[in-house]
Structure 1
Amino acid sequence: MKKRKLTPKQQLFADEYIKSGNAKESAIKAGYSPKTAYSIGNENLKKPELKSYIDAKLAEIESHKIADAKEILEYFTAVLRGETREVVVVATPAGAEEVERAPDEKTKLTAAKELLKRFPMSDEIAKEQLRKIKAEADLAEAKAKLADYEVKIRQEEFSDNEDENRTDDLTGAVQQGMEGIFDNAEIET
């Protein structure tokens, strides 16, 4: 099968996409209509000849120009430790002034979270968060069942006053069934 050559428009689109990573903007810069740029951009990215051209061009880019994992981890660590400086604009009586300062706590926290995502410990955190969410869902489901049982009990109490023993038995069964899921204070009788 013969490899199709890119049209000048397609090649310009691919070159712009490599620079920006934005398919719509790349399509507009390549000369496609702004009205159809979004769909044409996405369509172009699915074409095998365009995809292979983009992949080949990206492979040509020197690897030292792209941060590797070690460099990224070192940067996050430097931010977390307050070793980097950021420039902020501060209002002064004389006007706006640029000031260099260490990263604030929010920035350090973000760096710490990014670092944690890359270590095996984050799997444990994710498992615990998932376990917590599941437990909360189970608890909500159990509370809903308990509420349904309570409604049934109340309905039986109002419809059949003679059978108090049966109601007490049902209430006891509900409490026993919910044991271990709720604190005793949460179970109303």
Structure 2
Amino acid sequence: MKRKLTPKQQRFADEYIESGKKEESAIKAGYKSRSAHSIATENLQKPAIKSYIDERMAEIASKRIMDATEAVELLTSIARGEEKETVISSTPEGVYESQKEADLKTRISAVKEILKRYPGDDKLVKAQIRKAEADADIAEAKASIMNASTDSTEAKVSEYLDKLDDVLGGDSDGN
């Protein structure tokens, strides 16, 4: 059986959740200021109050933290121009408030963010991945050749670079 909190304990816990200041929370909950520190310390050690605070904090956190689906949905609504922003305009006649779609640059950024998460069949992304893998293979090969402690290391490097040139259709130093 869970022990219920007194109204004063619940006010203390709610104030503490909001401010994080135990003594101030105790005073706002109705405890006397001269005993607020010791009562607050006691209250924070009581299992019923502690579990109430933990439950409320978990509830607040789950409501406030955006999950990945929600983030992609928001990006999608921005990219489609569904999300509006408030614009304040000042004229000699007064101040006006209006709603407008995100500008083109913002919408393009939202699309790019979505595509980072869902690249799909993007040929550019595939080409970039292939290039990165090839660069990594070349670097590994160069390192292994350089680590071979023979007198003909320079000749081997030259030979290897020539072979790479043939495979890649250019020269290996990027020209």
| TM-score interval, smaller chain | 0.3 to 0.5
Q: TM-score, normalised by structure 1?
A: 0.39
